[in-house]
């Protein structure tokens, strides 16, 4: 797995008169197909040994599942494809969009009545929610042909200028922009309140606001929304300041002592675990000289300590491992392997009031993982692993293959999606 080379299957627009670029592309495609042949044979045997899994076999012996559909790469758009495939496997979130009625957008002389309307941009002819809905519907209809998300990507270009062009982008940054814009559009003109007023109201969020980021709650905040308590203590007078911050995901540092450990089997010191990253995020930290705290009692900036508590856990806990760091003029990648549980991630010890939570309300099971292959944020390739109806799949743009838990746990995760465990699930805590 460590030596696998991934690449984005870019679409060439400006070819030579003799079509030389296309010929090179076809040659590369043939090489890629032959490289996967032995893997296909191995997986076919694995499937044939299981009566349940044999239902997933396609004609011609391909191991792609009948229900799963890939996404075409439109030119370095693997960052988008990996996020879309991950979100499509978070059932509560995905089902909400798939059950929305189709929308007739105003186009030319026709102006269909819309059940919901866009508010995140001025162009009435585009709807991020509608294109997102259509993409999610296409992914689990059993089509053998990869779906091309060009209509969705067009809307992304229209409303998210950062993602225009065909250069590689950061998958986590894209996910945040996508969720934020879906949230804003779903709010519509909430009670006739303009976007600017809602954004102003957001500046005075309190614990009673729940997770209504930017005003009214939507499916985005209802599923991904949690609340952090940020506790700051002045080291001079002891004054304590508390602030509640809503979040859709948590960005976790990989502790520096683990930064040289690159693979799971490497034996130079202890293994870095997801718990190490969570502990680093929530542990008491003394702020340095560049982050002096303005103490209202001392009436000046003072040295202080900071600690995070989770005041409210979300239904889906999205954890982003900070693998890209600026050093001088370069953005380097932290390639450390971080061990993570497939089942039973216990978040109780990070809660502000753990005594108020139920016995299983703090347990999370993994639903999807986004992986970045390569050395830099502006290069490399993104793929995703996700669980669907008890089986794990690997989504590599247009290629979808059945995989197993042993392969998933070896992945160098970049983004992890954990779903809150329902009561009486019967799984053991890890």
Q: Which residues are catalytic?
A: 78, 381
Nearest 10 degrees: Cα torsion 157, 162, 167, 168: -110
Spatial neighbors of 425 by CB under 8 A, at least 6 apart, are 360, 365
H/E/C letters for each residue in the chain?
A: CCCCCCCCCCCCCCCCCCCHHHHHHHHHHHHHHHHHHHHHHHHHHHHHCCCCHHHHCCHHHCCCCCCCCCECCCCCCHHHHHHHHHHHCCHHHHHHHHCCCCCCCCECCECCCCCCCCCCCCCCCCCHHHHHHHHHHHHCCCCCCCECCHHHHHHHHHHCHHHCCCCCCCHHHHHHHHHHHHHHHHHCCHHHCCHHHHHHHHCCCCHHHCCCCCCCCCHHHHHHCEEEEEEEEECCCCCEEEEEEEECCEEEECCHHHCCCCCCCCCCCCCEEHHHHHHHHHCCEECCHHHCEEECCCCEEECEEEEEEEEECCCEEEEEEECEEEECCEEEECCCCEECCCCCEECHHHECCHHHCCCCCCEEEEEEEEEEECCCCCCCEEEEEEEECCEEEEEECCEEEEECHHHHCCCCEEEEEEEECCCCCCCCCC
Cα–Cα dist 430/308, whole Å: 24
Q: How is residue 203 written in tokens?
A: 């500046």
């Amino acid at each position: 797995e460590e030596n696998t080379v991934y690449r984005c299957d870019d679409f060439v627009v400006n070819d030579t008169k003799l079509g030389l670029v296309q010929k090179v592309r076809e040659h590369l495609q043939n090489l890629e197909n032959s490289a996967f042949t032995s893997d296909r044979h191995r997986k076919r045997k694995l499937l044939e040994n299981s009566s349940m899994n044999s239902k997933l076999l396609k004609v011609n012996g391909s191991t792609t599942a009948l229900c799963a559909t890939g996404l075409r790469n439109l030119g370095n758009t693997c960052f988008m494809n990996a996020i879309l495939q991950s979100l499509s496997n978070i059932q509560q979130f995905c089902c909400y969009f798939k059950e929305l009625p189709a929308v007739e957008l105003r186009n030319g002389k026709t102006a269909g009545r819309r059940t919901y309307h866009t508010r995140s941009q001025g162009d009435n002819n585009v709807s991020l929610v509608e294109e997102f809905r259509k993409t999610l519907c296409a992914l689990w209809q059993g089509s053998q042909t990869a779906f091309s998300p060009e209509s969705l990507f067009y809307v992304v270009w229209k409303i998210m200028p950062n993602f225009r062009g065909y250069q590689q982008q950061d998958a986590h940054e894209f996910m945040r922009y996508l969720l934020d814009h879906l949230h804003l559009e779903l709010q519509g003109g909430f009670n006739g309140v303009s976007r600017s007023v809602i954004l102003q109201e957001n500046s005075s969020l309190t614990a009673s606001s729940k997770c209504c980021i930017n005003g009214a709650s939507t499916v985005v905040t209802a599923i991904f929304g949690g609340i952090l308590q940020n506790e700051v203590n002045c080291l001079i007078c002891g004054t304590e300041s508390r602030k509640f911050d809503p979040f859709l995901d948590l960005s976790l540092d990989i502790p520096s002592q683990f930064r040289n450990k690159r693979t799971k089997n490497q034996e130079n010191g202890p293994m870095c675990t997801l718990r190490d990253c969570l502990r680093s995020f929530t542990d008491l930290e003394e702020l340095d000289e560049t982050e002096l705290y303005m103490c209202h009692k001392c009436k000046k900036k003072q040295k202080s300590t900071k600690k995070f508590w989770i005041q409210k856990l979300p239904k889906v806990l999205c954890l982003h491992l900070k693998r890209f760091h600026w050093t001088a003029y370069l953005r380097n990648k932290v390639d450390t392997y971080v061990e993570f549980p497939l089942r039973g991630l216990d978040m109780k010890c990070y809660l502000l009031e753990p005594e108020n939570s139920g016995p299983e309300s703090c347990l999370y099971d993994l639903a999807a993982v986004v992986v970045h292959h390569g050395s830099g944020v502006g290069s490399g390739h993104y793929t995703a692993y996700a669980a669907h109806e008890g089986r794990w799949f690997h989504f590599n743009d247009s290629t979808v293959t059945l995989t197993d838990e042993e392969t998933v746990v070896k992945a160098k995760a970049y983004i992890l999606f954990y779903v809150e465990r329902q009561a009486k699930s019967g799984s053991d805590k890890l």
